[in-house]
């Protein structure tokens, strides 16, 4: 007499909820985890255990576990807390230019010492940065650019192996935070000609709808590195103009007084017998003249920046200086544009600013943020004063930000850099 076939009983259904009986077959079931159809007619529960040991089922279970972070169901509070922790570590990995390779070891260490459910290897951290943090940062940038009236664009190209990279940076003023310099776009270009780069930059500007807000452009065409205060990240054209004037005055005084540094004097004393001192001093005088002439020519590139020196807040606000700056900004614009400054309304706003500074102990750049933060808390709108400050602090005449983009980031090393432009852009 033949052996009776086994069937999928209620007891087996409770023990293995991921198995579903096939319609019309009491001895055949479908595994919801690996989508395999199996027969339990011969061994019943033994057949199920054999299926659980097969490689296909194990691989499917492993894939489900690794993708559980992206479930569509409403997460529990504990799940949200773990996700926030994983995102925090991913964020700091990008902020400090740490290789994603470290996350494989780092994740295991945290799960063993602190939270067993914490799991975030390199692929997951990359997904968090490119799919969560970077889109959020881009949305914030888009919102801030919509609110600002003036900004500046800078770029600096460089080669990464065989790829020509052309990042575009945007510099603007946020009233409650100060100067911001952020990555507007990052991609490779097909060539290095001026026409290609100009068309690429204009396409990005139009894509972000900021063509009427660009107050200045800074390219990689500066043949002199001044260093010091002239190339600070937050320096403006006004800062550079003031520093240049100081340097020029200092050189003129040295030339008039036939100044020589002590080290040069010591060398000159040793060489008095072998050289003509008068000819040497004549060359020194000519050197000072050439330096002064160069600075005079270079200063022409930012004529008018001195009209915004009052922005530095080193002296009391003077209405005539502010009015002149406002008129110069209006001259650069077409009539009826949204960014034009209403000078009559500006006068009342300046009076409010004077009252604020009278109660302040010290005036400096951070005080600009304090001023606008105060107005924000008091729900006082000062749009015209905001436009002038935005215009003045967004302008920049040196490409230090563009150069620092390539020189300061450790991510460009082979150990930390991913080849995909999306990943690099998201990290930045």
Do residues 308 and 150 lie in contact, with contact meaning Cβ atoms separated by under 8 Å? no
Mean pLDDT of 357-383: 78
Q: Pick the closest to residue 302 from 204, 222, 194, 212 (CA basis).
A: 222
Query: Where would I find the beta strands (DSSP E) of 186-301?
Result: 214-218
Return the pLDDT at 144: 92
What angle is formed at CA 205 by the lines to CA 203 and CA 210, rounded to 5 degrees?
A: 145
Tokens of 57: 């089922």
Mean pLDDT of 342-355: 92
Do residues 6 and 44 lie in contact, with contact meaning Cβ atoms separated by under 8 Å? yes
Phi–psi pair at 246, nearest 5 degrees: -65, -45
Res 393 pLDDT > 60: yes
178-185 and 168-174 as β-strands: parallel, antiparallel, unpaired? antiparallel
Banded pLDDT at 419 (limits 50, 70, 90): very low
Q: Pick the closest to residue 268 from 257, 289, 283 (CA basis).
A: 283
Res 138 pLDDT > 80: yes
DSSP state of 425: H
Banded pLDDT at 2 (limits 50, 70, 90): very low
Instruction: Read off the pTM.
Output: 0.61
Do residues 97 and 107 lie in contact, with contact meaning Cβ atoms separated by under 8 Å? no
In angstroms, the first-to-last Cα distance of the chain is 75
**Residue whose token pair is 């396409």:** 203
For the ranges 28-32, 202-206, 266-270, 297-301, the maximum mean pLDDT occurs at 202-206
C-alpha span between 428 and 129 (Å, rounded): 10
Mean pLDDT of 132-143: 88
Do residues 213 and 284 lie in contact, with contact meaning Cβ atoms separated by under 8 Å? no
C-alpha span between 43 and 169 (Å, rounded): 68
Q: Pick the closest to residue 51 from 34, 27, 65 (CA basis).
A: 34
Res 34 pLDDT > 70: yes
Instruction: Provide the 10 A C-beta neighbour count for residue 61.
Output: 14
Banded pLDDT at 423 (limits 50, 70, 90): low
| DSSP SS3 for 101 | helix
Do residues 390 and 173 lie in contact, with contact meaning Cβ atoms separated by under 8 Å? yes
Please report how many Cα atoms fall inside a 13 Å half-sphere around the Cα of residue 402, on the Cβ side.
Answer: 25
pLDDT tens column, 273-301:
778 888 888 888 999 999 888 888 877 66
Res 70 pLDDT > 90: no
Going across the sheet that includes 214-218, the strands are 178-185, 168-174, 151-155, 214-218
Res 395 pLDDT > 80: no
178-185 and 163-165 as β-strands: parallel, antiparallel, unpaired? unpaired
DSSP state of 114: T
C-alpha span between 292 and 393 (Å, rounded): 27
Mean pLDDT of 237-245: 73
Banded pLDDT at 319 (limits 50, 70, 90): very high
Return the pLDDT at 298: 73
pLDDT tens column, 171-196:
999 988 888 888 898 877 877 788 88
Do residues 334 and 369 lie in contact, with contact meaning Cβ atoms separated by under 8 Å? no
Higher pLDDT: 45 or 229? It is 45
């Amino acid at each position: 007499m033949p052996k009776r076939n086994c069937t999928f009983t209620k007891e087996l259904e409770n023990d293995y909820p991921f198995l579903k009986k096939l319609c019309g077959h009491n001895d055949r079931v479908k595994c919801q985890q690996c989508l395999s159809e199996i027969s339990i007619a011969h061994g019943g529960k033994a057949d199920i255990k054999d299926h659980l040991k097969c490689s296909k089922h194990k691989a499917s279970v492993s894939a489900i576990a690794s993708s559980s972070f992206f479930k569509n169901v409403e997460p529990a509070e504990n799940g949200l807390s773990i996700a926030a922790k994983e995102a925090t570590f991913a964020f700091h990995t990008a902020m400090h230019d740490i290789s994603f390779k470290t996350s494989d070891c780092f994740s295991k260490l945290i799960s063993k010492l602190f939270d067993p459910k914490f799991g975030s290897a390199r692929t997951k951290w990359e997904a968090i940065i490119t799919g969560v943090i970077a889109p959020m940062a881009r949305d914030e940038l888009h919102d801030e650019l919509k609110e600002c009236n003036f900004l500046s664009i800078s770029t600096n190209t460089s080669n990464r192996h065989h790829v020509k990279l052309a990042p575009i940076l945007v510099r603007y003023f946020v009233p409650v935070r100060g100067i911001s310099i952020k990555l507007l776009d990052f991609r490779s270009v097909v060539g290095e000609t001026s026409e290609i780069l100009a068309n690429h930059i204009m396409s990005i500007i139009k894509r972000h709808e900021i063509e009427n807000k660009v107050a200045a452009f800074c390219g990689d065409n500066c043949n002199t590195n001044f260093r010091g205060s002239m190339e600070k990240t937050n320096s403006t054209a006004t800062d550079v103009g003031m520093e240049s004037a100081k340097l020029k005055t200092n050189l003129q005084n040295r030339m008039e007084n036939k100044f020589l540094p002590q080290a040069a004097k010591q060398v000159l004393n040793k060489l008095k017998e072998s050289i003509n001192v008068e000819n040497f001093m004549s060359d020194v005088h000519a050197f000072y003249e050439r330096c002064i002439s160069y600075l005079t020519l270079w200063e022409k590139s930012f004529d008018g920046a001195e009209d915004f020196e009052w922005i530095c807040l080193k002296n009391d606000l003077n209405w005539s200086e502010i009015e002149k700056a406002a008129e110069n900004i209006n001259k650069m614009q077409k009539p009826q544009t949204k960014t034009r400054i209403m000078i009559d309304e500006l006068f009342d706003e300046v009076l409010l600013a004077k009252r604020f500074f009278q109660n302040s102990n010290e005036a400096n750049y951070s005080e600009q943020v304090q001023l606008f933060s105060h107005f924000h808390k008091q729900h006082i709108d000062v749009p015209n004063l905001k436009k002038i400050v935005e215009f003045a602090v967004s302008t920049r005449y040196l490409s230090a930000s563009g150069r620092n983009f390539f020189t300061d980031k450790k991510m460009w090393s082979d150990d930390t850099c991913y080849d995909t432009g999306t990943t690099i852009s998201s990290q930045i």
